[in-house]
Amino acid sequence: MSWETLVEKHTVTVQAAIEAVRSRSFFAHWVEVPSGKVYGETANEDGRRRFEGLLGKPFPELLQVHDGFWGGHEVSPYGLPLKVEYPRTGLREAVEQAQRAQQQWQRLPVRQRAAVLVEALEQAAADFFTIAYATMYTTGQGFVMSFQASGPHAFDRALEAVATGVLALEAFAPEAVWTKPLGKGEVTVRKRFRAIPKGLGAVIGCSTFPLWNALPGVFANLITGNACLWKPHPAVILPVALFVARFQRSLDALGLNPHLLVLLSCTPEQPLTWEVAEHSAVRIVDYTGSPAFGTELERRLGGKVVFTEKAGVNSVIVHSVADVGAVVENLAFSFCLYSGQMCTAPQNLFVPEEGVGTGNGRLTPEEFVQRLLQAIDALVQNPKAGPPTLGAIQNERTLQRVREVEALGLPVLRASTPIQHPEFPEARTATPLFLEARWKEHRELYGREWFGPIAFVVRVPDAATAVAEVADLVRSAGALVTSVYSTDPAFREQAVESITAAGAPVALNFTGPIWINQSAAYSDFHGAGVNPAGNASFTDLAYVTARFGIVHVREVG
C-alpha cells in the first residue's frame, strides 16, 4: 500500500477525531457495546477461545529481539494462574533497537504517521475480545468493563492523542519567506521549521487499567515522532502483549521497523521501573499509579519530561436532590464499580448535619445514608448485576487495606464482606466498606487516599463547609473528580467556583447511566494537571507539545 493510499484511507477518521477534539462533542470511532451485530456473531466466542489458547505456554507473537529468557508470573484475581511466559528483551538492546526505529519514523510527515497509527489501531481492534478476556482475568474487572476499558474506550483515547498531536504539529506554518523592511531596502530570509522529537518515551503501566491509562502516552509519543518502551505492571502483561504484538505486525506489514514500540516484560522481583525511567536515552516518562511513587518519579527525574496520573481524594457533596432514588442509585453504582479500584472512584461523601433537601422535605443525614446503603445492598446482592459490577480485587494488598481501615475505630456504617462469584468460586472479592467520620476530627483519615472499596461518610455542619473542605482537600491531596448534588443554582455555582479554582473538575447532579467514574475521550480532560493528583491531562495540548521541540533553518538569498 502506498503512503498516499494509506493516508487517504484514514483521512476521514483523522479529520473526524480532530473536529471532535476541537468541538469537545460526542465522538466514538469504535462501538463500546460488545455486540455480535457490530463485531460478528462469533467474535466473543472466538476471542475467548483465542485467550484460552494462550494460557500455560510462551507468548510467541511479539516481533522484537529478545535474549532467550522467558518468564511470567500472572495470577488472576479470579483464582487461577495464567502461566503465560513472555520473551525478555534486555533494556540496552531495547533502547538501541527503538532508537533505530525512531530514526526511520521521525522522517515521516505527521499525516503519514497518523495514518500508520490509525491503521495499527484498526488492526488491533480485531483482538478486542481477546484483549478483553486478558484484561478481565489479570485485573479483576468484569467482562463488559474490560471490553470497553481496554478496547473501544482505550482506542479512542489513543486516537484522541493522535488527533491532538496532529493539531499541535500543524499549528504553525512549516516554512515562510520572512521579509523585513530596512530603510529604502529590505532583507529576505527563507525559514523552515522542523518538529524534532525529544527522544525515547517510556510508559510505566498500572495493574488496573493496563491499556486505558497507557495508550494516551504511547500514542502521544508516537505521533510526535518518538519511539516508545512500554513497561507493563508485572501482574498484568497479557493484554499489553496482545496489543503490542498486533501493533508491531502492522508496522512490519508497512515496511516499518516494529521496534518503534517495544514491550519490556518484567517480574515482581525485577519490576524494571527505575532502570527504564532513569535510562539516559529515555527523555519522556508517563506513569500511572500510587501518589507516593509518582511523586518520587517527579522528584528524581529532573531534566526529563514526566507525566504522572496518580490519585487523589475524590469527594461527593450532597446538598439537595430532585429525585432521591435516582441519586442514590447513581452513587451506589459509582461506589461499587470495580470495587473502588479506579482513580476516579468516589471516596468521601459529605453530608450536612442540617440534612438533605428533597422535593418532599428534608432527609436527616442518617436517612439519606441509609437510602444509599440500601441501594448498595440491592446492587451487590443482585446475583446478575453484583458480581460483574464489583469484579475482583486485583491485589491482595487492597484487601489488607480494607482490614486496616476497619481497625481505625470509626463507626462502621456498612461492613465489607466477600461475595460469592457464580463463575469463579476462588475470586478475591469485597463489597464497599463505609465508615462514619466527622469534619476536622478525622481529617487525617478521610483526607488521604484509601485505594479500594473504602468510603467515608463525613458529617459537616452545612453544605458550605463541605465545599470549603473539598476545595482544601483538592489543594492538599488532589482529586481527579468531584461531584455535587444540589437543586439550588446559586449553591451550585458557588461550589463550581470554589472547587474548579482549587484545580478539580465538578460533576453536577449526575443520575442515570452516567457516572463520575467515567471519562469520555475527545471531550473530557481526564486529569487537570493542576492539583497533586497528577501533572498530566488526557489529552490537552501540553500533553503532546512537551514531547517535541521546534528547530528552524534560516537561509538568506
Between 302 and 214, residue with greater pLDDT: 214
User: Span 366-376, mean pLDDT?
Assistant: 97
Comparing C-alpha atoms, which of 477, 475, 495 is closest to residue 485? 495
How far is 133 from 478, CA to CA, in rounded Å?
A: 33
The pLDDT score that the predictor gives to residue 361 is 87
**Residue 13's Cα: distance from chain center in Å?**
22
How far is 550 from 127, CA to CA, in rounded Å?
A: 37
Predicted confidence band at 557 (pLDDT cuts at 50, 70, 90)? confident
| Percent share of the chain, pLDDT over 90 | 93
Q: Go through the chain and tell me how many residues it has.
A: 557
How far is 84 from 137, CA to CA, in rounded Å?
A: 12
How far is 430 from 453, CA to CA, in rounded Å?
A: 7
Comparing C-alpha atoms, which of 406, 423, 424 is closest to residue 415? 406
What element of type H or E holds 318? strand 315-318
Residue 354 vs residues 48, 113, 435, 457: alpha-carbon distances, Å: 53, 58, 20, 15
- How high is the mean pLDDT of the chain? 96
Report whether pLDDT(1) > 80: no
For 97, what's the count of Cα atoms within 13 Å in the CB-facing half-sphere? Answer: 21
* Strands 361-363 and 356-358, bridge-based pairing: antiparallel
Comparing C-alpha atoms, which of 405, 389, 396, 393 is closest to residue 456? 405
The domains of the chain, with CATH numbers, are 3-21+58-310+536-556 (3.40.605.10), 315-508 (3.40.309.10)
User: Span 221-237, mean pLDDT?
Assistant: 97
Comparing C-alpha atoms, which of 254, 355, 268 is closest to residue 9? 254
Taking only the tens place, the pLDDT of each residue in 396-412 is 999 999 999 999 999 99
How far is 144 from 124, CA to CA, in rounded Å?
A: 18
User: Span 104-114, mean pLDDT?
Assistant: 97
The pLDDT score that the predictor gives to residue 191 is 96
What is the torsional sign of CA 86, 96, 240, 275?
Answer: positive
DSSP string of 141-184, one letter each residue: --HHHHHHHHTHHHHHHHHHHHHHHHHHHTSS-SEEEEEEEETT
What element of type H or E holds 469? helix 463-477
Phi, psi of 445 (to 5 degrees): -95, -60
From edge to edge, which strands make up the β-sheet containing 482-485? 412-414, 433-438, 454-460, 348-352, 315-318, 482-485, 507-508
Predicted confidence band at 225 (pLDDT cuts at 50, 70, 90)? very high
From edge to edge, which strands make up the β-sheet containing 200-204? 261-263, 228-231, 200-204, 282-288, 305-309
Taking only the tens place, the pLDDT of each residue in 441-454 is 999 999 999 999 99
Predicted confidence band at 359 (pLDDT cuts at 50, 70, 90)? confident
Report whether pLDDT(302) > 90: no
For 271, what's the count of Cα atoms within 13 Å in the CB-facing half-sphere? Answer: 13
The pLDDT score that the predictor gives to residue 330 is 97
User: Span 102-120, mean pLDDT?
Assistant: 97
The pLDDT score that the predictor gives to residue 360 is 86
Report whether pLDDT(183) > 90: no
DSSP string of 280-310, one letter each residue: TTEEEEEEES-HHHHHHHHHH-TTSEEEEE-
How far is 346 from 259, CA to CA, in rounded Å?
A: 39
User: Span 382-395, mean pLDDT?
Assistant: 95
